[in-house]
Amino acid sequence: MSNIKTVGIVGAGQMGNGIAHVCALAGYDVRLNDISDEALDKGMEMIEANMSRQVSRSLISPEDMSTAIKRIAPNTSLEPFGGVDLAIEAATEQREIKESIFKSLCEVVPEHAYLATNTSSISITRLAATTDRPEKFIGLHFMNPVPLMKLVEVIRGLATDQETYEMAVGVAKSLDKTTTNAEDYPAFIVNRVLVPMINEAVYALYEGVGTVESIDTAMRLGANHPMGPLQLADFIGLDTCLSIMQVLHDGLADTKYRPCPLLVKYVEAGWLGRKAKRGFYDYRSETPVPTR
């Protein structure tokens, strides 16, 4: 663990800025990358807002926040990754984009650096094969929202060596996270169980078993879930849910993983959930309103 001092994170969106947040608070120097200054500005604004919330709840001190923010260096170039010890990819859940990022990373990161992906469903072995160091490649699947959720799934690819695995567990623990080991099969553990449940809730809506509100209320009060599955889908992003279902369907060739046509339709409409202001709920007013 002592050899990890600087962490590079590709992607300043919901997951990437959360990983940067916890890494900076844990004492790591952070290089945060995204394709535009606008995306980086939004990411840094989110980090500051979330840390301010932690300060208001006395979870961290104002000094902790100030020091952590100064540890994060945003940049649209990957050039600063020439000094990282660990690079974590947290881009959109599309294999081609991730593979392109790792090919670019291999051109700049030092020889000793480890590579990790925050993918929620894509094969670690397949992504590792696009790099020049598959033995130093691992899956680190953080849960959303990263500053609040305690779990990190650690997933070894076929070529991942023991030293890399121990490094990954050590880094996660240094961030005050609990780790669980998942094998490199489609969607790993959490999403293998969770997203098909969400897809089934969408089927229940599609088939008229219940409305958005009745399905979510039933699962909140009947199964004691903290939020209903359709509300959760909006929070995750309907495009991400669809992508995970497609990975499961393609990877396991089982019809039980067929994405619901209604989920496909919402994604085609651009109704992706909270981030698009519309999904199974409409978020354009102060109180979310069900869209079906």
Contact (Cβ atoms closer than 8 angstroms) between residue 29 and residue 5: yes
pLDDT one-digit tens code per residue, 185-223:
999 999 999 999 999 999 999 999 999 999 999 999 999
pLDDT, residue 31, reads 98
- The reported pLDDT for the residue numbered 288 is 95
Domains, the chain: 6-182 (3.40.50.720), 191-290 (1.10.1040.10)
Which stretches of the chain score pLDDT less than 50?
none
Taken as a whole, the chain contains a residue count of: 292
The whole-number pLDDT of residue 29 equals: 97
pTM score, whole prediction: 0.89
User: Quick one: pLDDT at residue 2?
Assistant: 59
Pairwise CA distance, residues 280 & 233, whole Å: 8
pLDDT tens across 8-31, in order?
Answer: 999 999 999 999 999 999 999 999
Separation CA 97–CA 258 (nearest Å): 24
CA dist., res. 292 & res. 290, Å (int): 6
The residues that are catalytic are 120, 141, 153, 191
